[in-house]
Amino acid sequence: MGTMDEERMFYHAVALGAGGNYAALLRQRKRHATWREAYEKSGGAPTTDPEKEYRELDRQNIHLALPGDPEYPERLREIPHPPFGIYIRGQLHEQNASILAIVGTRRATPDGKSIARRFAAHLTRAGFSVASGLAFGVDAAAHEGCLDSGGKTIAILAGGLANVYPKNNAPLAQKILGAGGALISEYPPDLPALPHRFLERNRIVSGLAQGVLVVESPERSGSLATARFAFEQNRDVFVVPGPITHPNFKGSHALIRQGAELVTQPEDILKSYGITKEKEPPRQFAGTPEESAVLAFLSSCAMPADIDKIIDMARLEPRIANQAVSSLFIKGVIKESGEGYMVN
């Protein structure tokens, strides 16, 4: 077993012993250089056999990623209090994927569900993946809208992956996996979805994404917490407004007063990212993955994009992005104007 496999195995054992409690894991992380040391020095959980429990993850088709692993999303590394590990079932997208989170009340109106589905479908056709929390109402509609348009969506759970919550959305979870998407959680598989875990989960929903769209948020709502996390994480926050007397929009309107961007159609979000048309079928191009990522973004833009926008949207390191842009320019695939780069 390699060093990283050992670290995953012992992290899982420590997480089981801590019951997934973030504060307890943080204390262990501060005291010990490795998760193996944390397990051995703390005596471990008396009923936990690290190797057996780690093999059980494989049996359940669950992969564990730690922050040093390539599968661990880059954006999560940037946020305050990033998860020490994430459990993954299915396929997380490549690191440079464009992701929008769509959240809102579980008690959404029919119009709210329709809006969430329509925004998700449109954003998917423009090249975004959709992240949400698999809850009833807006979350489920957002996942479904993405799936309807052939996209890959990510569901972030407030409990372990062996306990899909709510149970009635288990068929939707299977559809997400069947379409090449993913279910993820920071909790070991058998842990239940407890009330405080929904709040903890929300920082991951916003942290995975470039921006968060709020559809119907009452005065007290988990989607408000997700939006606040997004503000703290320097993510974009978009809000669909509604009737001023409807209780489902009290929180939404408060977010707009706090600086969130009011949007009434999917194009409003796309324009914020310099995208003014849905993506055309990708042209055949034999280049590096980084060149392909830059070309895919520029192909979706009707206007030239500068290097900062390319770095942000293609999710590449500045040095790598500059190399890819230079190579594409030399090959004649893209051209430069006074305002930036565009496909030739």
- Convert the pLDDT of each residue in 56-84 to its tens digit: 999 999 999 999 998 999 999 999 999 99
Question: What pLDDT was estimated at residue 280?
Answer: 47
What is the distance between the alpha carbons of residues 96 and 275, in angstroms, rounded to a whole number? 16
pTM exceeds cut of 0.85: no
Cα-based angle 298, 302, 307 (whole degrees, multiple of 5):
40
Do 128 and 178 lie in a common domain? yes
d(CA 190, CA 265) in angstroms, rounded, equals 40
The answer on 125 and 46 residing in a single domain is: no
pLDDT tens-digit profile of 119-151? Answer: 999 999 998 999 999 999 999 999 999 998 889
Q: Under a CB-based contact definition with an 8 Å cutoff, are residues 223 and 131 in contact? A: no
Specify if 65 maps to a domain.
Answer: no
Per DSSP, the three-state class of 223 is: helix
d(CA 217, CA 103): 8
Instruction: Tell me, yes or no, whether 75 lies in a domain.
Output: no
CATH of the domain at 297: 1.10.10.10
Domain of residue 319, residue span? 289-343
- Asked whether the beta carbons of 315 and 321 are under 8 A apart, the reply is no
Which helix H or strand E contains 261, and what residues bound it?
Answer: strand 261-262
**What is the average pLDDT across 193-222?**
94
Spacing of C-alpha 56 from chain mean position: 26
The answer to whether residue 72 is domain-embedded is no
